Amino acid sequence: MSFKDGGGLTYRSAGVDIDAGNEAVRRLAPLARSTFDSRVLNDIGGFSGLYGLGSLNLDDPVLVSSTDGVGTKLKVAIMAERHDTVGQDLVAMSVNDILTQGARPLFFLDYLAMPKIDPEKVEKIISGVATGCRLAGCALLGGETAEMPGFYQDNDYDLAGFAVGVVERNKVIDGSMIGLGHKIIGVSSSGLHSNGYSLVRRLMFERLGLKIDSTLFEEETVADVLLKPTKIYVNPVLTALRRHEIHGIVHVTGGGILENLPRVLPGGCRATISLSSWARPPIFDFIKKEGQLATEELYRVFNMGLGLLLILPDNEVNPVMAIMEDHRETPQVVGIIEAQTDQDRVKLVN
């Protein structure tokens, strides 16, 4: 059947290229398939994704979910024209969140919106999502790529997604078993991860006048430092949970240590953190010095070199730290749980 064009409007003339969208999907399919396991029940291209739970062999499974975006770190990726790492950031923000409840990630879905579909750029972005899913051991079950002319600036795009995981009901970690004398292990971050970029961009590009390719530390450029992908802690933590007791897990994201640690503490408990107990990546000293930030502001905006905090009994510290080290992480005992004596839930000491 053929259709005659009467010279009227088309979707392409309105800014939406269906053929480019189809080409993007063709490129993304093998990336998604590279993350599939035996529980994925359909292929890319359907209206939804199917994931079987029967083979998990759990007695009382609880689904755990989280959603997030990458935030203004995307602005840095756009400035640098590097789009292959922010997808890992996207996955990390959600899978690390559900990990705090002791959950194993099962699958992830993404949403990518841009003014004009560029199949090559889309492929780079989603390649990072697929990398993150492989690191987290979850399936990239599907997603949505939206072409929205007139809504975004020419080179802008937005990226969001969500993860779903599972945990046995009697294994859910909710902080209720945290007690006085529990130790706090800090697991190192790769840098800024995905938080504080509105402040960092204002400092570097507006106040200091740096360029995206300016050298910042030794041979590292601004782009190198700011686009380091967020660490995914799933494998070492799940390994530790299979063998040992961890009573609280904190993903240090927006709000930093000061805002995130209290979210898992029972009433009457305070976390005392020793600031001299771990080494910080140089980006944090740079921000403190050049931005003249107060200590409290630093620790309520940035992760300050600790992407994850584990709260556990003293007798579990050494074996859990050994597991972290076996997974090439850098853990340190950074604090202790004490009785709360004032309104502060977190106390920073030198």
Residues in the chain: 350
Type of residue numbered 205: F
Name the burial class of residue 33, with classes exposed (0-12), middle (13-18) and buried (19+) by CB atoms within 10 angstroms of its CB. middle
Least confident of 52-61, 127-136, 261-270, 299-308: 52-61
- What is d(CA 279, CA 229) in angstroms, rounded to the nearest whole number? 19
**Which residue's structure tokens are 């910042």?**
216
- What is d(CA 107, CA 65) in angstroms, rounded to the nearest whole number? 10
pLDDT at 138 over 80: yes
CB 158 within 8 A of CB 58: no
- Closest by CA position to 349, among listed 275, 299, 279, 277: 275
**Which residue's structure tokens are 């041979």?**
219
**Which residue's structure tokens are 């759990």?**
58
Arithmetic mean of pLDDT over the chain: 92
- What is d(CA 76, CA 343) in angstroms, rounded to the nearest whole number? 38
Q: What is the CATH number of domain 183-349?
A: 3.90.650.10
CB 137 within 8 A of CB 235: yes
CA angle 154, 112, 302 (to 5 degrees): 90
Q: Residue 284's pLDDT is what?
A: 96
Q: Residue 29's pLDDT is what?
A: 83
pLDDT single digits (tens) 173-189: 999 999 999 999 999 99
- Closest by CA position to 104, among listed 236, 2, 215: 236
- What is d(CA 108, CA 137) in angstroms, rounded to the nearest whole number? 10
CA 263 distance to own-chain centroid: 18
Name the burial class of residue 320, with classes exposed (0-12), middle (13-18) and buried (19+) by CB atoms within 10 angstroms of its CB. buried
List where CATH 3.30.1330.10 sits in the chain: 18-171
Which residues does residue 184 pair with via DSSP β-bridges, in sequence order? Answer: 311, 335
**Which residue's structure tokens are 């730290």?**
321
Q: Which two tokens stand for residue 194?
A: 């995905």
CB 92 within 8 A of CB 231: yes
DSSP β-ladder status, 269-274 and 215-217: unpaired
User: 3.40.50.720, 3.30.450.20, 3.30.1330.10, 3.30.750.200: which CATH number matches 18-171?
Assistant: 3.30.1330.10
CB 340 within 8 A of CB 268: yes
List where CATH 3.90.650.10 sits in the chain: 183-349
Q: What is the DSSP letter of 328?
A: T
CA angle 131, 133, 138 (to 5 degrees): 155
pLDDT single digits (tens) 186-225: 999 999 999 999 999 999 999 999 999 999 998 899 999 9
Residue of higher predicted confidence among 19 and 281: 281
Confidence category of residue 270, pLDDT binned at 50, 70, 90: very high
Q: Residue 288's pLDDT is what?
A: 95
Mean pLDDT of 28-53: 85
pLDDT single digits (tens) 219-247: 899 999 999 999 999 999 999 999 999 99
- What is d(CA 84, CA 190) in angstroms, rounded to the nearest whole number? 16
Q: Residue 55's pLDDT is what?
A: 82
Q: Which two tokens stand for residue 309?
A: 């905090």
**Which residue's structure tokens are 């749980």?**
337
Alpha helices, DSSP H only, in the chain?
18-33, 73-80, 86-99, 119-136, 197-201, 222-226, 234-243, 256-260, 282-291, 295-301, 317-326
